[in-house]
Amino acid sequence: MRSVLNATARLSLLFLVVCLSGAALAAPAASAAPSSQGGWQAHFDEQPGMPPMVVAVDKAQQQLYLLRHKSPLEVAEQYPCTTGQVVGDKLVEGDKKTPEGVYFVGRYIRSGLDFGMYGGIAYTLNYPNPMDVLRRKSGYGIWVHGRGHKIIPLETQGCVAMNNDDLIALGPKLVSGTPVVLAQTVVTSEPQTTEEKKIAAALVNMTREWAIAWGNRDAAMFEYYDAKAYTASNSGDFNDFMATKNRLFNSLPWILNWIDNVHVLQGPDYWVTWFKQYYRAPNLTVQGHRRLYWHKNGEGNLLIAGMEWERADLNLEEAFLQARRPDILKFIEDWRIAWESANLAKYADCFTRTAKQGNRVGMEAIRDHKVGLWKSARPQKVRFSDFSLSVGPDGLTVEMKQNYSSSDGFSDTGIKTLVLRPHGDTWRIEREDWRAL
């Protein structure tokens, strides 16, 4: 596939290079500001992509906060907690340290647990995440769990433990995918720098551009990755990943790839973006949660170093159609105006090169037909109404009522059906059908 988004992608990457090139941005501010006790200081503030809710654990204060993003960011709930017996970031299995970074709730466990140790309640976290693996950290089984007795400071093997009544109160908010930030200290009282907010905004935009490139079967998608880091983070062998995607890009006639609710948080020396994803192609329909872990490569560019995917039945197809409806209808309106005004160049540009229109195949054949037709009968009125959008075996389909008249007095009314293909951040017509009413 020829790149549709290369220019956009490179501009975004250049933007990040500029943002990150100053000495003040040699590293993200949260990781550049260790607490007085050492370790990572997690810094929260209003920023683009801020999730509606975050759990934050302050190891120094032995406190757990539920932060709610309601403009301004607020501490909605606060509980005492206890963490690892040894102070510091977890590095190896058995070091009795609680890791520092951005993690996500996985499973809720409520049976088969030792009551004294876990209080019969536990929520798993995704330690080690891809960035932990990249940094060769080891260990597993880091949970947020209860206790069969009143907690005391610094008493776990590395988990975060809470008094049972507190965890029962917090539990309904700990749904799968909830972000949990573990840090030596947590700061919510100091505003983020303008540069940090620019980075957050750029990462939200880059995540969307990455998704668009995927939907366009565009090799520009691979420019967003740090290939060596991706492989080393156990996200998969990058060369195999790229080869598989290229085979699909070349064999599939279409891909619909839509992401929703892009959130972003800063880790110790990385950032995470995560979102819901709807993917549809002729061979597969799948939905779920995806997380992208971004870090700076040797040239100072933020690239994807790791990735996580959790398949889930999210019923996103209707949300996808509703979200894309405005830009689909705008594209159709632009096409209608080009048709009604007999603007041949703009009209033809609305089709793919392989488009079909009745018995005509290819954009050039469609254009040549209009050249001949419009010499004797120019369009006078083209109107559409009663739009219906759906996704089927052929891809995204739009059905609508059409009223047409031309300068020679001809007129008709019928049902127009368009099959659309993604093109950059807009659409092109792959097939056009009509039937009379």
Q: Do 369 and 389 lie in a common domain?
A: yes
Q: Does position 31 have pLDDT exceeding 60, yes or no?
A: no
Runs of H (alpha helix) within 83-226: 115-118, 130-134, 164-170, 194-215
pTM of the model: 0.90
- Domain membership of residue 16 (yes or no) is no
Q: Do 308 and 353 lie in a common domain?
A: no
What mean pLDDT is predicted for residues 396-411?
A: 97
Task: Tell me the pLDDT tens digit for each residue of 137-154.
Answer: 999 999 999 999 999 999
Helix, coil or strand: residue 221:
helix
Helix, coil or strand: residue 344:
helix
State the residue range of the domain holding 251.
Answer: 194-314
Total domain count for the chain?
Answer: 3
Task: Supply 393's token pair.
Answer: 């075996």
Q: Does position 26 have pLDDT exceeding 90, yes or no?
A: no
Residues 6+ apart with CB under 8 A from 229: 134, 295, 297, 303, 305, 306
Out of 192-201, 306-315, 340-349, pick the least confident.
192-201
What mean pLDDT is predicted for residues 188-204?
A: 86
Q: Which of 158, 187, 216 represents a domain boundary (last residue)? A: 187
Give the number of other CB atoms < 10 A from CB of residue 407: 12
What is the rounded distance in angstroms from the CA atom of residue 76 to the CA atom of residue 263? Answer: 19
Out of 10-24, 142-156, 262-276, pick the least confident.
10-24
End-to-end CA distance of the chain: 39
Q: Do 214 and 293 lie in a common domain?
A: yes
Q: Do 52 and 86 lie in a common domain?
A: yes
Q: Do 44 and 144 lie in a common domain?
A: yes
Q: Which of 314, 337, 363 represents a domain boundary (last residue)? A: 314
Task: Supply 425's token pair.
Answer: 């951040």
Where are the strands (E) in 298-425, listed by range?
Answer: 302-311, 351-357, 360-361, 379-392, 395-406, 411-423
Q: Do 322 and 310 lie in a common domain?
A: no
- Domain membership of residue 10 (yes or no) is no
What band does 196 get if pLDDT is binned at 50, 70 and 90? confident
Task: Supply 402's token pair.
Answer: 């059409």
Task: Tell me the pLDDT tens digit for each residue of 32-59.
Answer: 344 445 799 998 988 889 999 999 999 9
- Domain membership of residue 356 (yes or no) is yes
Residue written as tokens 């089984």?
141
Q: Do 181 and 209 lie in a common domain?
A: no
Q: Do 334 and 292 lie in a common domain?
A: no
Q: Do 76 and 141 lie in a common domain?
A: yes
- Domain membership of residue 82 (yes or no) is yes
Q: Supply the residues annotated as catalytic.
A: 145, 159
Task: Tell me the pLDDT tens digit for each residue of 200-256.
Answer: 999 999 999 999 999 999 999 999 999 999 999 999 999 999 999 999 999 999 999
Task: Supply 383's token pair.
Answer: 């109107």
Backbone φ and ψ for 284, nearest 5 degrees, come out as -160, 140
- Mean of the per-residue pLDDT values for the chain? 91
Residue written as tokens 């058995």?
94
Out of 72-76, 206-210, 281-285, pick the least confident.
72-76
Q: Do 127 and 162 lie in a common domain?
A: yes
What is the rounded distance in angstroms from the CA atom of residue 343 to the CA atom of residue 350? Answer: 11
Assess contact for 101 and 182: CB atoms under 8 A: yes
CA-based radius of gyration for the chain? 26
What is the rounded distance in angstroms from the CA atom of residue 352 to the CA atom of residue 423? Answer: 9
Q: Which of 266, 286, 314 represents a domain boundary (last residue)? A: 314
CATH code at 120? 2.40.440.10
